[in-house]
Structure 1
Amino acid sequence: MRKSVVTISLNSEQVLMFYKRQKERVRAVSEDGTSISLPFDIIAQFVSHHGIHGRFEISYDSSGKFKGIRKVG
């Protein structure tokens, strides 16, 4: 299984844009330099009053299909 680690930092105003459907995908660069575009629904579980902040490990199967995400820092 492939994995990527990204740092995401969205304040509460930026998160609100996703809930209003003004945006649908979060773009980030992984620690190995790969550009990643995630549907907001994947990281919505990590929303707090301050937004979304932290390092996340994203798992993919051999064909690149999303398998899971977890906060690592």
Structure 2
Amino acid sequence: MNISREQALRYYQGAARVVVVTAMTGQKLQFPAEHIRAFVGPNGIQGTFSIQFDENNKLVGLKRV
């Protein structure tokens, strides 16, 4: 992910509720913004992340790799 400080603050503050990202495979993923709040830093959010889904395709975890 490479999300600017301004956009990350919108997610952190709840002004934007859904995150849409492109996976390394090219697949578009959409998930609730609450899952990235822990990763917001002074410069936004940068890095590669691993995402885990349950058997119903619900997001259960997101971690920086």
TM-score between both structures, scaled by the size of structure 2: 0.85
**Residues 12 and 32 (structure 1), Cα distance of their counterparts in 2 relative to 1, 3 Å cut:** same
How many percent identity over aligned positions? 28
Aligned-CA RMSD value: 1.3
Structure 2: 5+ residue stretches without partners? none
TM-score between both structures, scaled by the size of structure 1: 0.77
Which structure has the larger Rg over C-alpha atoms?
1
Partner residue in 1 for 2:22: 29
**Residues 61 and 20 (structure 1), Cα distance of their counterparts in 2 relative to 1, 3 Å cut:** closer
SS of residue matched to 2:47: strand
Q: What aligned pairs does 1:59-70 form with structure 2 within 5 A after superposition?
A: 59-70=52-63
Cα displacement string for residues 32-69 of structure 1 (whole angstroms, at most 9, x for unaligned residues): 22110121110110111111111110001122121211
Aligned length: 64
**Greater RCO, CA 8 A, separation 6+:** 1
SS of residue matched to 2:55: coil
Structure 1 segments of 4 or more deviating over 3 A?
none
